[in-house]
Chain A
Amino acid sequence: MSEDDLLDRVLLAALAEGALDPERVASFAAGLRERAQRILDERLKPVEQRAAAFERESRWKQEVIAGIEEEIRRLRAEMEALGREGDKAAQAHDRLLAHHRDVLRNVVEVLDALPRRSSAVSSGVDRLRDLAVALRKEIG
């Protein structure tokens, strides 16, 4: 059974009943138009539902992507802040190191300038000097 056959059968029934006569054809057309609208609306409904679901999913994905981008921005800012903190720490470390070198240089000079008195004192001064030299090597 094709749709054409079915339509023919409906139209033949309509013809036999006078539904296509001039005084009734407007009613026939109204029934055809309004019912066709309902059937087409019903056919469209699943498509609209799929489109709406797709739109919802797309919106959700966009929200997820926006969230990830925000997280990346936050992590970058955090990394930059950490980098700045690292620079500050390195500078402070360098300053402290320079200060320690100065102190040690002064110690060595003072020790070198000391007159030799007793062998006990002398050996103590030597040990201090060796220690100072070793520390200088150690801290560059």
Chain B
Amino acid sequence: MISAVVPTYRGAERLARNLPTVLASLQSSGRPWEVVVVDDGGGGVEAAWPGVSVVHLPENRGYGPTVNAGAAAARGDYLLVLNDDVRLQEGTVAALCSLFPDPGLFAAVPSIRSPLARTGDEAGKAGEWAAGLLEIRELPAAADPRPTLYPVGCCYLCPSALFRDLGGYDDAYAPFLWEDVDLGYRAWRRGLRVVHHPGATSEHEGSATLSEHRTLEERERIGFRNRVLFHLRNLQDPGLRAESLGALAAFALFEPRRERLEGLSDALAAFSVRGRRPEEGLSDRELLERCTGLR
């Protein structure tokens, strides 16, 4: 069974616009399915379609915790994680399913056509280690499935057991941004793969929830906080950590943007509470080479 998990915040109109395409794609896959819409404390969302249930969170918790709540309620063997502003083509779910079962595969990401993407496809991501930080760039278009750094949070399919085994999204990144990079990095660390499947297609209206409810300054501050936190939480290689801390010192010394300095401060505070992840699996250098030929 496939469980589509759709986090939403005041997204009744977006769901009305987009969810029917998800239902059609699920139905077309020929597999049993359910849809778990998770209302992230915004209210106004009802189970208006057959096969769709709604989990109501009492308060706004952000993207990661909301998806985790949906995954906890889901009954399927596979999770189809979707933003409420994503539309699927009829064959999208079937095309993603065709890559499973594969014991080494954590997640399959369709092409995500988006106005946010410079290449037109938001899904293919490469990482480059540069000047003490992991820099993420979009991969150029491709015809065949290929590795990608992380399952972009707006649309991917993964086995529910692996999602839970990895611990789902780390709520340290709440309310949003970098939780998907973190999840993908942890999957690669375990020796699992994340694949971008250009043969499956989706369309993304473009971070509608973020842009409607958060200012640019808030997004910059939170995004930078989480970018820093990702490095502090995940890097295990002592040399890479030292480089990364050097880079953070450079931000403290020279960064002119207030939002970034506040984000750095927030990240240091969060790190002092959350700490580093335990060492396990592939080294950072092996991992980076394996997922995108980094470094």
Q: Which A residues from 29 to 45 make CB contacts under 8 A with B?
A: 29-40, 43
Most interface-central of A6, A29, A31 (chain B CB within 10 A): A31
Most interface-central of B243, B265, B268 (chain A CB within 10 A): B243
- Complex-state Cα separation, A36 to B136, whole angstroms: 19
Could you tell me if B261 and A34 are in contact, using CB atoms closer than 8 angstroms? no
Q: A24-61, CB under 8 A of B: which get 1 and which 0? A: 11011111111111111001000000000000000000
Contacts of B174 in A (CB 8 A): none
Which one of B245, B251, B265, B271 contacts A19 once the chains associate, using CB atoms below 8 Å? Answer: B245
Interface extent on A, as a size class?
20 to 34
- Complex-state Cα separation, A74 to B255, whole angstroms: 56
Could you tell me if B245 and A39 are in contact, using CB atoms closer than 8 angstroms? no
Known interface pairs A9-B268, A19-B245; A30-B132 also in contact (CB < 8 Å): yes
Contacts of B131 in A (CB 8 A): 31, 34-35, 37-38
Instruction: Verify if A10 is at the interface (C-beta below 8 Å from B).
Output: yes
- Complex-state Cα separation, A85 to B256, whole angstroms: 70
Contacts of B79 in A (CB 8 A): none
Could you tell me if B261 and A35 are in contact, using CB atoms closer than 8 angstroms? no
Interface size on B, residues (CB 8 A): 30
Contacts of B294 in A (CB 8 A): none
Contacts of B251 in A (CB 8 A): 35, 39
Distance in angstroms from B254 CB to nearest chain A CB is 4
How would you classify the secondary structure of chain B's contact residues: helix, strand, loop or mixed?
helix
Instruction: Verify if B241 is at the interface (C-beta below 8 Å from A).
Output: yes
Using a Cβ cutoff of 8 Å, how many contacts connect chains A and B?
A: 102
Instruction: Verify if B30 is at the interface (C-beta below 8 Å from A).
Output: no
Instruction: Verify if A11 is at the interface (C-beta below 8 Å from B).
Output: yes
Contacts of A10 in B (CB 8 A): 245, 248-249, 252, 264, 268
Distance in angstroms from A2 CB to nearest chain B CB is 10
Contacts of A25 in B (CB 8 A): 242
How would you classify the secondary structure of chain A's contact residues: helix, strand, loop or mixed?
helix
- Complex-state Cα separation, A85 to B262, whole angstroms: 79
Could you tell me if B239 and A14 are in contact, using CB atoms closer than 8 angstroms? no
- Complex-state Cα separation, A7 to B253, whole angstroms: 7
Contacts of B264 in A (CB 8 A): 6, 10
Minimum CB distance partner of A6 in chain B = B252
- Complex-state Cα separation, A24 to B261, whole angstroms: 25
Distance in angstroms from B214 CB to nearest chain A CB is 22
Could you tell me if A35 and B247 are in contact, using CB atoms closer than 8 angstroms? yes
Distance in angstroms from A44 CB to nearest chain B CB is 11
Contacts of A1 in B (CB 8 A): 261-262, 265
Could you tell me if A39 and B250 are in contact, using CB atoms closer than 8 angstroms? yes
Instruction: Verify if B8 is at the interface (C-beta below 8 Å from A).
Output: no
Contacts of B239 in A (CB 8 A): 24, 27
Could you tell me if A14 and B245 are in contact, using CB atoms closer than 8 angstroms? yes
Minimum CB distance partner of A39 in chain B = B254
- Complex-state Cα separation, A50 to B132, whole angstroms: 29
Distance in angstroms from B51 CB to nearest chain A CB is 49
Instruction: Verify if A17 is at the interface (C-beta below 8 Å from B).
Output: yes
Contacts of B243 in A (CB 8 A): 27-28, 30-31
- Complex-state Cα separation, A96 to B35, whole angstroms: 108
Since A3-B252, A13-B248, A24-B242 are in contact, a sample of 16 more A-B pairs with Cβ atoms closer than 8 Å, ordered by chain A residue number, is A1-B262, A7-B252, A10-B264, A13-B232, A19-B238, A19-B242, A24-B239, A28-B246, A28-B249, A29-B246, A31-B242, A31-B246, A32-B132, A32-B250, A34-B131, A40-B254
A interface residues with partner B (beta carbon < 8 Å): 1, 3, 6-7, 9-11, 13-14, 17-19, 24-25, 27-40, 43
